[in-house]
Structure 1
Amino acid sequence: MRSTFIFFYISINILMLFPVAAQQGIQNKTIINTPDYVLKGELTIENYQTYVEVPFEVPIDIKRLTIEVSYSGKDQRTTIDLGLEDPKKFRGWSGGSKNKITLSMEDATPGYLPGELPSGKWKLLLGVPNIRKGIVSKYEASIYLEKNSAITEFFDKPINSKEGWYRGDLHMHTGNSDGNCLSQSGQKIPCPVYRTVEAAAERGLDFIAITEHNATSHANSLRELQTAFDKMLLVAGREITTFYGHANVYGPTDFIDFRMSDSSSMQAKKWMDVVNSKGGIVSINHAGVPSGEACMGCGWQIEDLPNGTVSSVEIINGGIMKVSGSADSPFQGWKQWYKMLNSGQYVTAIGGSDNHTAESKKEIVGAIGYPTTVIFMKELSVKGMIDGIRSGRVFIDIEGKSDRFIDIFSTNGNEEAKMGEKLNITSKNEIQLTVSVEGALGASIEFIVDGALQSEMTQSIKKNKEIVKIDWQYVPGSKWIHVKIRDENGKLILVSNPIYLVKN
């Protein structure tokens, strides 16, 4: 039992190093790589069974605090426990189980309290349950201060560092907003986050984004769960829910003021610009739903947003598909997406289950992963996901069948472009299109140009793994082309993103 509560300020032994960034004031960093302070000191037998306070200053308006601690003497059984106090209260204790601590308003390392990061003198607490006589243990604490919160990752490294196609669900809810499930006694309750995460893992998804209505409270649960679910990326998204439309945001996890007084683009840009400035993206949800008492504020009413403000559109929503019975329903986001593409915007089509009941069986429309969005990522991380969506290397697997795949490739003379890329049209107007499809035997390929079906180009799929090549005569003025796959009954099962056509 540790009964000695003697606190030592060892400021004589602390060397506080201030890097250039700190000397010039805390910078608005988006990537943490250089500490703002490095606190160094030594511990000896004099510190045995004591608690050492290591003070440091936190300026105003800090959004995230991260501390990494290392120390020598472990081979001689030196042990240092970690804790933290802010200027007002005790923020947590992790003992010897962790060497890294992070806190923000929304989330914190397990064992620590999320919340406001008050300015003033903080104290890193070093408990010393064991150190041998004659041993000098040197410790170093790197302090990182983020003034402009950016993309939040819950893992210190990518879940998977390999590039490739990753499958996931970008829209779902838990009890932190309006998701529910059944308790042990069969009562409907606000569903805890872990139920949704477990269901997604059982379905073999590589990533999920939990997108609560304006709330940020799920971020702390996801940080705790990420270490346990270390094969699946957990993303704390947000469904910004206004009176004039809904949109998911991915990347930042701090509060975004969603309150709009009218449907003008100026009002919408106030929060969209915040998201984009932090490295995140905005994605319009279920744009075709009419707003009214049945779904208040659900339909998209915001017009004239500048190019680049919105990065993607949810064209297939599982909840709407469950009600309407169709991925082609006019209540889906097709009209909004095509309208933006035809106006010259490069916006990526995505899907989302909009799941509100984690217990829904996987074969039920609107269950987690139904539909699935498949993204080519450089790495499986939040940044990798966001960059993948921006790139347009994305397709929608409507039924969430893991064996289904689609990609498109084009050439025009010496010019080449993959799905999501621009194809420069040379003096020759003939374009060669290649469609790679898997898991769709007996289905047909439809080619859509500027929103219009090119029925004469429809192709049959005769193999489980098929590569279909077709020549298309480019029509001057055409802006984009994408592909739909329909099964033998005409049901839509796969959707590609466009190749953009640029006439030089």
Structure 2
Amino acid sequence: MTDLPPIRLHREPGASVATGSTSVRFAPGAPDWVPVPLALPDGVAALTVRYDYPRVKVPAGRAGNACDLGVLDPERFRGWSGGARTGFTLAGDTATPGYLPGPLPAGTWQLLLAPYQVSAGGFEARIEVEARFGPTAPTPAPAYPAESVPGRGPGWYRGDGHLHSVYSDGRRPPAEIAALARAAGLDWIISTEHNTPAAHPVWGPLAGDDLLIMVGEEVTTRNGHLLAAGIDPGTWIDWRFRARDHAIGATVQRIRDHGGLAVAAHPHSPIVAGRWKFGWDPVDLIEVWNGVWTLDDEAALESWDAQLVRPDGRWRPAVGDSDAHSDPDVVGLPQTVVWAEALSRRAVLAGLAAGRCWIADAAEVAVGLTATDGERTAGIGERLAVGPTDPVTVRAEVACVPDGVLRLITDEGEALAQRLGPDGTATVAWRTSAAVSSYVRLEVRRPRADGEVGPGTLETRELPYGPMAALTNPVFLDPR
């Protein structure tokens, strides 16, 4: 697609409003992102952009039409709503959720169209622009959340690191999300709107002594979604790349440079462009559990487990998040429980990066996992160096999973499975050695519903286990 001519606004003499419009035609194979230039004159106090395109019905298995919308001013990113809205308004003191308020500088802006799907016959997107002139209202100071809250000192803290509000494609206001997080027994959350930092300035007043709020972004590429978890407030991470562009390394480095962690989100998601195509090497963490436990979580867990033993010794810890957008999504289903020295952004992210964390489907679920040779003990995410044949005792604990199944998993597969009683509580001791087990991790499954087909390999087969209740990162046994 060749460069498009800029939209030029028409203003009648003495009028306080100027308008303009254009149309863009998309055919199958259109570029992923198409900038539509907009020539904005001096003195604009408010800018409104609306767009529309035909939403056609197509047979199952064929692409319909879907087109996203964002905007950049001559100097910086100003917002994104994907396909969640039909337009936006910007002013000095306010903006449509997903967009950033502030002065509206004269010059060439870019209205960013993203034809996410194009039907066989193509489609035409119509853009209408309205600019209102007058004095620019002052931009309010951002109310970013605090870097730390009192907490309980060193200990285990529960959180949800993948949440959406009305600032992208969610339907809940941030205040409702904060209230739901508290009701779920969470200690920390991370706001991760699609491709925009617009929610960052609103979270500060919603935190408190009992809830650490961090900010981030869901970098929504055409080859998978990347969470920029816990980045510096106000940071924007560009999402306009595919795996073939080899930009993932620079993107992850930007996330780290701004204090965050890079998380491969729902890597086996069946949504369009939702499957992860960048490999595990670039990221810090892998989201193996996203929302209610389903087959794509089962696939994510299996592929994550397959990379736990590598020649370089590096591994990527597993996390789980709700990815909650609106009802009936449950904030804190699942939740990641992390060992942190304090309830602070730096400490929580450090615990996650080290793999000192486990995942549960509810606040009442508790687990523990240690390995000891009688002198030294290693816990979740840690390494125990022992002689190859030295006896190692693995101790697993679980509470509040009635009638579930406790499983110990090693690099050889399932090593132990024990049914839980009606109270859902058990402690198990199991013996192994570094020669037999490279690592040990814990899974706890809910009971299966009658007639449910359990997830398996490529063939359909029944398993005696139901959906996940909790799982841990491994304890590694290193022969010395």
TM-score band by shorter chain is 0.5 to 0.7
Q: Are the equivalent residues in 1 in contact too, given 2:223–2:242 (CA < 8 A)? A: no
Over 3 Å counting, the alpha-carbon distance change for 1:115 and 1:311 in structure 2 is farther
What percentage of aligned pairs have identical amino acids? Answer: 24
Query: Does residue 1:175 correspond to 2:170, yes or no?
Result: no
Query: Does residue 1:384 correspond to 2:384, yes or no?
Result: no
Q: 270, 277, 286: which is aligned to 1:301?
A: 277
Query: Does residue 1:428 correspond to 2:389, yes or no?
Result: yes
1:203 positional shift: 2.6
What CA distance in whole angstroms lies between the structure 2 residues aligned with 1:196 and 1:174? Answer: 8
What CA distance in whole angstroms lies between the structure 1 residues aligned with 2:393 and 2:278? Answer: 37
What CA distance in whole angstroms lies between the structure 1 residues aligned with 2:412 and 2:224? Answer: 23
1:383 positional shift: 1.4
1:246 positional shift: 0.6
What CA distance in whole angstroms lies between the structure 1 residues aligned with 2:298 and 2:426? Answer: 32
1:31 maps to which residue?
A: none
1:332 positional shift: 4.8
Question: RMSD of the alignment, in Å?
Answer: 3.0
Query: Does residue 1:220 correspond to 2:215, yes or no?
Result: no
What CA distance in whole angstroms lies between the structure 2 residues aligned with 1:277 and 1:412? Answer: 39
Q: Are the equivalent residues in 2 in contact too, given 1:316–1:332 (CA < 8 A)? A: no
Over 3 Å counting, the alpha-carbon distance change for 1:315 and 1:193 in structure 2 is same
What CA distance in whole angstroms lies between the structure 2 residues aligned with 1:311 and 1:383? Answer: 15
Over 3 Å counting, the alpha-carbon distance change for 1:263 and 1:335 in structure 2 is farther
Query: Does residue 1:310 correspond to 2:283, yes or no?
Result: yes
1:237 maps to which residue?
A: 216
1:115 positional shift: 8.6
Q: 447, 458, 483: which is aligned to 2:442?
A: 483
Q: 315, 319, 336: which is aligned to 1:350?
A: 319
1:303 partner amino acid: G
What CA distance in whole angstroms lies between the structure 2 residues aligned with 1:370 and 1:304? Answer: 24
1:165 maps to which residue?
A: 156
Alignment of 1:39-438 (within 5 A): 154-155=145-146, 157-180=148-171, 191-226=172-207, 229-252=208-231, 253=233, 254-263=235-244, 266-290=246-270, 295-303=271-279, 305=281, 309-318=282-291, 321=292, 326-327=293-294, 329=296, 332-343=299-310, 344-357=313-326, 359-360=327-328, 366-398=329-361, 400=362, 402-412=363-373, 414-438=375-399
Query: Does residue 1:494 correspond to 2:470, yes or no?
Result: yes
Over 3 Å counting, the alpha-carbon distance change for 1:419 and 1:269 in structure 2 is same
Deviation string, structure 1 residues 323-354 (Cα, Å, up to 9, x no partner): xxx44546652133123323343221111111
1:397 positional shift: 0.9
Secondary structure, counterpart of 1:288 in structure 2 = coil
1:472 partner amino acid: T
Q: Are the equivalent residues in 2 in contact too, given 1:168–1:205 (CA < 8 A)? A: yes
Q: Are the equivalent residues in 2 in contact too, given 1:288–1:335 (CA < 8 A)? A: no
| Alignment length (residue pairs) | 326
Deviation string, structure 1 residues 224-268 (Cα, Å, up to 9, x no partner): 322xx431111112111111111212222311222214446x410
Q: Are the equivalent residues in 2 in contact too, given 1:107–1:219 (CA < 8 A)? A: no
Over 3 Å counting, the alpha-carbon distance change for 1:330 and 1:315 in structure 2 is closer
Question: Which has the higher Rg, Structure 1 or Structure 2?
Answer: 1
Secondary structure, counterpart of 2:189 in structure 1 = strand
Secondary structure, counterpart of 1:271 in structure 2 = helix
Over 3 Å counting, the alpha-carbon distance change for 1:473 and 1:390 in structure 2 is same
Over 3 Å counting, the alpha-carbon distance change for 1:216 and 1:438 in structure 2 is same
Over 3 Å counting, the alpha-carbon distance change for 1:159 and 1:340 in structure 2 is farther
Alignment of 1:459-478 (within 5 A): 459-462=418-421, 465-475=425-435, 478=437
Q: Are the equivalent residues in 1 in contact too, given 2:388–2:433 (CA < 8 A)? A: no
2:194 partner amino acid: H
What CA distance in whole angstroms lies between the structure 2 residues aligned with 1:331 and 1:263? Answer: 27
Over 3 Å counting, the alpha-carbon distance change for 1:428 and 1:156 in structure 2 is closer
What CA distance in whole angstroms lies between the structure 2 residues aligned with 1:223 and 1:330? Answer: 33
What CA distance in whole angstroms lies between the structure 1 residues aligned with 2:99 and 2:151? Answer: 23
Over 3 Å counting, the alpha-carbon distance change for 1:115 and 1:389 in structure 2 is farther
Over 3 Å counting, the alpha-carbon distance change for 1:157 and 1:276 in structure 2 is closer
Q: Decide which moves more: 197-206 or 266-275.
A: 197-206
Over 3 Å counting, the alpha-carbon distance change for 1:165 and 1:153 in structure 2 is farther
TM-score with structure 2 length normalisation? Answer: 0.62
Q: Are the equivalent residues in 2 in contact too, given 1:214–1:239 (CA < 8 A)? A: yes
Q: Are the equivalent residues in 1 in contact too, given 2:283–2:316 (CA < 8 A)? A: yes
Secondary structure, counterpart of 2:163 in structure 1 = coil
1:216 positional shift: 0.1
Q: Are the equivalent residues in 2 in contact too, given 1:443–1:461 (CA < 8 A)? A: yes
1:451 positional shift: 6.7
1:355 partner amino acid: A
1:469 positional shift: 1.0
Structure with the higher helix share, 1 or 2: 1
Deviation string, structure 1 residues 96-115 (Cα, Å, up to 9, x no partner): xxxxxxxxxx999xxxx889
